[in-house]
Amino acid sequence: MYSDQAPRAASSREALVRTGFRLLAVLATLASPAVAGPEEDAMQVVQKWAAAFNASDVDAIVALYSPDAVFLGTGSRTVVLDAKGIRDYFERALLTDRPRGARLLSHAARVLDDGAVVITGLDETTATRDGKTISSPGRVTFIVAKRGAEWKIVHFHRSGVPGRPN
Question: What would the pLDDT profile of 24-51 be if each residue is shown by its tens digit?
Answer: 344 444 444 456 899 999 999 999 999 9
- Between the alpha carbon of residue 76 and those of residues 51, 72, 112, the distances in Å are 21, 6, 27
**pLDDT above 70 for 22:** no
Report the chain's mean pLDDT, rounded to a whole number: 86
**pLDDT above 60 for 8:** no
Check whether the bond before 7 is cis (ω within 30° of 0).
no
The answer to whether residues 100 and 53 touch, using CB atoms and an 8 Å cutoff, is yes
Q: What is the pLDDT of residue 163?
A: 84
Question: Does 38-160 carry CATH code 3.10.450.50?
Answer: yes
CA 150 to chain centre: 12
Q: What is the pLDDT of residue 23?
A: 41
Q: Which of the four pLDDT bands, split at 50, 70 and 90, describes residue 95?
A: very high
Q: What is the pLDDT of residue 166?
A: 56
Residue 129 bridge partners (DSSP): 132
Please state which of the ranges 11-20, 24-33, 80-89, 117-126 shows the lowest mean pLDDT. 24-33
| Cα–Cα distance measured from residue 137 to residue 100, given in angstroms and rounded to the nearest whole number | 14
**pLDDT above 80 for 164:** no
**pLDDT above 60 for 7:** no
Domain ranges of the chain: 1-32, 38-160
